[in-house]
Each structure stands twice: as structure tokens, then as C-alpha cells.
Amino acid sequence: MRKLTYFVACSIDGFIGDPGGDASSMFAFLDEEFLGYLTSTYPETIAAHAREPLGIEAAGNLRFDTVIQGRASYQLALDAGVTSPYAHLREYVASRSLAESPDPHVEIIAENLVERVRELKAEDGGLGIWLCGGSQVAGELLDEIDELVVKTYPQVYGSGMPMFGSGFAVADFTLESVRTFGNGVLVRTYARRR
Ligand SMILES: NC(=O)c1ccc[n+]([C@@H]2O[C@H](COP(=O)([O-])OP(=O)(O)OC[C@H]3O[C@@H](n4cnc5c(N)ncnc54)[C@H](OP(=O)(O)O)[C@@H]3O)[C@@H](O)[C@H]2O)c1
């Protein structure tokens, strides 16, 4: 059984971006210490176009070999002219509107999203599955999430795009680790309590 991990960046008050999803204010915290942590611990979460400038183009995948994104999150890459933003991973994009995949490396999940994710989790071997977001897809897949890795930036948004676009329901998690950084970023890892 492979784990589905929602590895996500958010503000102190739990927003993954402004009301439109923009989280660029968080980029200011990508300093040497925190980037060093990301590139050495989660290199596969660095988008393909940024790997060479960061000197990690040859880095192997450590935690994940698969990524799942909602189409709105993937759209950011498409708008930048990138059709396979995580070419070093198996890429899945949930979308009912993309009639065909813009890239042979990207598989579109148009229906039965939860069932498809269960099939991926049930595959033997391999590394974990990274749920990249955004909010809507994370809300739909909340029941399937086995692990949360929450990068919390020391900013309050007041309102914005919530971590989960879902209705009210309590889901319990166990805190497994907390890592703090000099610039005030926190990375908390939680395991799902079933
Ligand atoms: N802070 C972070 O770490 C982080 C991480 C990721 C994303 N984000 C932000 O999140 C924002 C996007 O989040 P979002 O909630 O608006 O959208 P999203 O979850 O990325 O994508 C929503 C889209 O996914 C497709 N979809 C949803 N459920 C589906 C289902 N059951 N079956 C098939 N397709 C399905 C639909 O695409 P179609 O319309 O094509 O049908 C829907 O419009 C972006 O602005 C991004 O910057 C932040």
C-alpha cells in the first residue's frame, strides 16, 4: 500500500494562497536554509524547470514517485508554457474539461477520481504519492490522505484559499515531527489516525 501525502505550503491561518490561490508571498521564505532542506529532503517536489538552476537536475526521488494535481493547479504550469511540470514523477491531473492531455507524460483523470487514487495507492512497491493540491482536489481526496506535510510560513492571510475545499468534518491526525527554520517556517508531519 502506498501513502498519499498532501505536501503543501500554507499561512499560519491555514490558507494555501490568497482568495485566487496565489501564494507568491511565501516565496520570500525560500532562503538558503529552507531551500537546502527542500532540495535535500523533498527534491522531487521542485518543479522540473527549477531543478537545473538549483543544481539538483540529477537528484533522485526520495519520498514520492507520483504526483496528483487538480487542473487549476496544473493550469499555472500550462500558462507558463510547461506541459509536464514534474517530468521526474508519474503525473496525474484531475480534469473534466481537458479533453486530451497536453503532454504524453501527463495522464488525465476525468472520472472516478477517488477510485483511481485508491488504485494508485494499492500498487505494489514504489515510493509514495504526492497530492500537490489544490484546495478542491485535496478536499475531494481528504478521506484518502494518509500523511500531511504542512509547510507553514509565518504570515497571516486573513482569508484565502483553504487547505481543503471540503465541508465541515473532523479528521484526526497524529503529529510525527516538527522542523523549525531560522526564518520562522515550520514543517509539521502528521500521520492519519484511522
Ligand atoms: N500552497 C500550496 O502549496 C499550493 C499547492 C497547490 C496548489 N496551490 C494553489 O491552488 C490553486 C488551485 O486550487 P483550486 O482548489 O482552485 O483547484 P485545483 O484543486 O487545483 O483544481 C480544481 C480542478 O480539478 C478538476 N477536478 C476537481 N475534482 C475533480 C474530479 N472529481 N474529477 C475530475 N476532475 C476534477 C477540475 O478541473 P476542470 O475544471 O478541468 O474540470 C477542477 O476545476 C492554485 O492557485 C495554486 O496556486 C497552492
Query: What would the pLDDT profile of 82-106 be if each residue is shown by its tens digit?
Result: 999 999 999 999 999 998 999 999 9
Strand, coil or helix: 3: coil
Instruction: Please give the share of the chain, as a percent, with pLDDT higher than 70.
Output: 100
- The DSSP H or E segment spanning 68 is strand 64-70
Domain that holds residue 69: 4-48+59-184
CA of 92 to the centre of ligand 1 (A): 12
Question: What CA–CA distance (Å, rounded) separates 15 from 110?
Answer: 27
Please, how many CA atoms are within 13 Å of residue 192, restricted to the half-sphere of its CB? Answer: 13
> What pLDDT is recorded for position 67?
98
Percentages (nearest 5) of helix, strand, coil residues in the chain = 25, 30, 45
**Cβ distance 20 to 3 under 8 Å?**
no
Ligand 1 near 8 CB (within 6 A)? yes
Q: Which is it for the CA torsion 128, 129, 135, 141, positive or negative?
A: negative
Q: Is residue 177 part of a domain?
A: yes
Q: Is residue 12 part of a domain?
A: yes
Question: What CA–CA distance (Å, rounded) separates 21 from 36?
Answer: 25
Q: Is residue 190 part of a domain?
A: no
pLDDT tens readout for residues 160-181? 999 999 999 999 999 999 999 9
CA of 93 to the centre of ligand 1 (A): 9
Q: Is residue 104 part of a domain?
A: yes
Q: What does DSSP assign to residue 14?
A: S
Which contacts (CB < 8 Å, 24+ apart) does range 43-50 have? 44/86, 44/88, 44/89, 44/130, 45/7, 45/130, 45/132, 47/77, 47/82, 47/85, 47/86, 48/82, 48/84, 48/85, 48/86, 48/87, 48/88, 49/80, 49/82, 49/85
Instruction: Please give the share of the chain, as a percent, with pLDDT higher than 90.
Output: 99
Q: How many domains does the chain have?
A: 1
Q: Is residue 194 part of a domain?
A: no
**What's the predicted TM-score (pTM) here?**
0.98
Question: What CA–CA distance (Å, rounded) separates 188 from 151?
Answer: 7
Specify the ligand 1 atom closest to the Cα of 69. Answer: 20
Q: Is residue 189 part of a domain?
A: no
> What pLDDT is recorded for position 128?
98
Q: Is residue 191 part of a domain?
A: no
CA of 57 to the centre of ligand 1 (A): 27
Mean pLDDT across the stretch 43-49?
96
Phi and psi for 82 in degrees, rounded to 5?
A: -110, 120
Look up the CATH number of the domain holding residue 38: 3.40.430.10
Beta bridge partners of 149: 7, 189
**Cβ distance 177 to 188 under 8 Å?**
yes
Q: Is residue 193 part of a domain?
A: no
Ligand 1 near 21 CB (within 6 A)? yes
